[in-house]
Copies of this chain bind each other. A is one copy, B any other.
Amino acid sequence: MAVDLAAVRQALAAQRIETPSWAFGNSGTRFKVFAQPGVPRSPEEKIADAATVHRFTGVTPTVALHIPWDEVDDYRALADHAASLGVGIGAINTNVFQDDDYKLGSVTNPDPGIRRKATDHLLQAVGIMDATGSRDLKLWFADGINYPGQDDLRSRQDRLASALREAYGRLGEHQRILLEYKLFEPAFYATDIPDWGTSYAHCIELGERATVCIDTGHHAPGTNIEFIVAFLLRQKKLGAFDFNSRFYADDDLMAGAADPFQLFRIMNEIVRGGALDPAYGINFMLDQCHNIEMRIPAIIRSVLNIQEATAKALLVDRDALARAQAEGDVLEANAVLMDAYDTDVRPLLAEVRSDLGLDPDPVRAYLRSGYQEKIVADRVGGRQAGWGA
């Protein structure tokens, strides 16, 4: 294969994935949240878990916060705490969906007072970015309606645009907005940002520091996600990923668990678009729920899955691919791509890890490390972190 293996190793060593503080806490479905022993009880403990994942994988040096779930008095101190554990603060995620006020929407609510409150929360989040040095304001709105007629779709867009403008105006020069979209849930008739096109159109109107965030679980059945990746890269409007996987809806399973070939195709477009390098600016985040499996090893496993998809994408013989494509040789072009996908890249990644001084098998290394037993023993009493907690 005409691939520069040293460059592949270097790219893999330089890859960066961000972990989400909330994935370390309890989560579940509307039917039940199963609590796990050892779950963090504070933002500090969540950051400690994130730092642990970084210690074993070597590629997750930042952790995203969720406000108000990670609310603290002193954000600078929290950032310092993170730094002392070897990680930095990543994206600041806003939450305008868990107050009773937000039953009919946040920034799109028909009530101007509630819109004001929600927009103020966005501005407050930028303040936290200032304090923590975070670059990214990640905006996901649960806003939408459950019944036709419940509210006016177009007016809600106007209200949304207004709040976005205000938040955008508050950004510092090196800060930016990551605007997420989602097909449905918790709204069941119409969601105010249901697809990448809606997010894109708002980002275009906001300006160049507004970019689209792709959550891999937020699409209609049959949606070709890697097409969206390729298209947004072409438009210079892809800012971030929320990685997870799904068989049905927003299942939030471990990245790569449901459709590893899709994850490979996504990373293939990233590599093809020259967007893997951290300098390009895409924030590759995880956003998952580990409802029944142990959380820290599940997050490690997800990181490994993304690394494996990336390694395969880096192994694609680009020259051979371009040649077959130019010749219209459908089978050969597909075969070149599949040749990379069918490769077992685990030995290659084991080498990369060894070169970085890491254990080649991060999951087993974690399980052997005693960390899990320690947190189960230590984290007794207090209130476990969790969705809404």
Contact = CB atoms under 8 A, between A and B. Distances in A.
B222 A328 contact: no
A20 to B, nearest CB: 15
How many copies are assembled? 4
Nearest to A338: B149
A8 interface: no
B183 A301 contact: no
Contacts of A27: 30
A337 B31 CA distance: 28
A383 interface: no
Given A184-B248, A247-B188, A248-B185, A222 B220 contact: yes
A32 B219 CA distance: 21
Contacts of A343: 344
A74 interface: no
A333 B147 contact: yes
Nearest to A103: B34
Given A226-B153, A342-B344, A32 B98 contact: yes
A221 interface: yes
A251 B34 CA distance: 22
Contacts of A337: 148-149
Contacts of A184: 222, 247-249, 251
Interface centre among A224, A294, A337 (most CB of B within 10 A): A224
Contacts of A190: 224, 226-227
Interface in A199-254: 200-201, 204, 219-224, 226-227, 230-231, 233-235, 246-249, 251, 253-254
9 contacts: A32-B98, A32-B388, A148-B337, A185-B248, A186-B291, A190-B226, A191-B224, A249-B249, A294-B331
